[in-house]
Structure 1
């Protein structure tokens, strides 16, 4: 490859990167700031609700037998937290996955084991205060 071709490719990459950055900045600027945006669950009246933009899920607090938490190393030193919501009236289990942003309340691209354990402890504290039994598998 000659220098001109390499220069054109590099210039195109810079232009596309800049356009992508501007697009995401403008898109996120108009987004409403929800105080629950980092929470994986919330309580509404007597219901336990998952805070998922993909699929809305809720059930009564009394219908939950327990929530089982665990953490696993997923790749390159990055950890994820996992939860299973076990209900009393059915064998079906609702699964959840989260990262350290639950605890830190800011976007985390890489979550270490300590951050995940803090997030799990934070979730367990909230759930037990609301009368939901929790288990942690280390």
Structure 2
């Protein structure tokens, strides 16, 4: 038994808002911009009939957007002392059909890059070593 169309839409809306809150916590501007963007997309498609391929396609896009926010975007924070961005890859960023493991960035990995001087290898603060 499937949910009514309105419930499915509201569920997707709430899931997107939770995913954005998780990703952009502490970044006021990103929180505001993402809130406005999500709301604008839902308002834009408000008049779409709740049956048919177009409606189902929009719900699929909601699922994909949530997945992207939760698993495929990482946030970096500027380290004021070094002027470098620090990125922490969490277990949820390694979930997916194509990628099940993220290799650590080592000095050897950096040397293979086009501009190796733009990456600084730091010690991992992971407890799972």
Structure with greater helix share of residues: 2
Higher-Rg member (1/2)? 1
User: TM-score, normalised on structure 2?
Assistant: 0.27
User: TM-score, normalised on structure 1?
Assistant: 0.26
Structure with greater strand share of residues: 1
